[in-house]
Amino acid sequence: MVLTQTTGTTQKLAALLLLLGALGLLAGAFAFQYIGGYVPCKLCLAQRQPHYAMVLASFMLLLALWQNWFPLLIRLGFIALAAVILYGAGIGVYQAGAEWDFWLGPNDCGGGMAITQSASDLLAQINKTKIVSCNTASWRMFGLSFAGWNVLASSSFATIALLAAFASQDRAMPYLEKLGIKKF
């Protein structure tokens, strides 16, 4: 059975790619939020949660791979990670569809923000608050909104996780050797 085959270079490379991919995606999301000024909506924040889990899970998979844990556990970990990532992609599909008016988005969607503890600052905070709708794309590149790009990235990450779950241990070696990497 494929799931009990020994794990190796392919799985290590996949776990590393997933870890770096999740960190890069989250860094981009925070950069758009804090540097670009794009306030995330409720669904935007929900789409980040699988990527937080992806950072932790891929790091744990890397440790398990370097400690030579049971291949079945590692491969099942990749399958579970793919399911979590696809859940995030599903949220992205829902939001992108709402942005394109394919279906209705949530009624209670708006920007998340902590309420001040001071009553005197409350009015000033209310006046500065931007209401962010989950149904309106605040930015698009090549026709895709943040949600659409998240669907593409998440689908790619899920594919990598599933390939790692079912691929042989050294499937990636010929590609790494072409790059001059002899051992990983």
Structural domain for 35, as ranges: 2-178
Record the pTM. 0.73
Whether 20 is in a domain gets the answer yes
Whether 37 is in a domain gets the answer yes
Whether 184 is in a domain gets the answer no
pLDDT of 114: 53
- On whether the CB atoms of residues 172 and 13 are closer than 8 A, the answer is yes
- CATH code of 11's domain: 1.20.1550
H helix runs in 35-118, sequence order: 42-66, 71-99
- In a 13 Å sphere around the CA of 87, the CA atoms on its Cβ side amount to 14
If one counts the domains in the chain, the total is 1
CA distances from 98 to 124, 155, 171 (A): 31, 19, 40
Residue with tokens 């370097």: 66
pLDDT of 166: 84
The mean pLDDT values, 10 residues at a time, for the chain of 184 residues are 68 89 90 80 83 93 86 88 93 79 68 58 63 62 74 90 81 53 57
- The encoded tokens of residue 116 equal 């001040």
